Structure 1
Amino acid sequence: MTISDVTRPDQPLVYVNTAFERLAGMRAEELLGRNCRFLQGPDTDGPAVARLREAIAAGREARERLLNFRGPDRTPWWNEIYVAPVFDDDGRLIQYIGVQNDVTEQVRAEERLAAERDRAQTYLDEVERLAFHDPLTGLPNRRRLAEVLDSTVLQAQVAGTGAAVLYLDLDGFKQVNDEYGHAVGDELLLAVAGRLQRRLRRGDLVARLGGDEFLVVLPAVDRDGGRTEGERVAAQLADALAEPVVTARGTVRVRASIGVSTYPADGSDFDDLLHAADERMYAVKSSRAVSAG
Structure 2
Amino acid sequence: MTKPQTIQIFLPFGNPQGTRVAEITTRTVRVFDIPRKLLPEFLNMPESSQVGLYFLFSEVDNEENISCYVGQSGEVGKRLQQHHQKKDFWHRAIVAVSLTNTITDTHAKYLEWASIKLGQASGRFQLENGNSGSKPHTPAPLEADCVEILETIRVLMSTLGYPVLEPLPSHTKEIQSTIYLCTARGANARGILSSEGFTVLKGSTCAMKPTAKATPQSIKTRRQKLIDSGVLIMSSDTLVFAKDHLFQSPSGASCSVIYRTSNGWRDWRTAEGVDLATSEEKNIIQSN
TM-score for the superposition, normalised by structure 1 = 0.22
Which of these two proteins has the greater Rg computed from alpha carbons?
1
TM-score for the superposition, normalised by structure 2 = 0.22
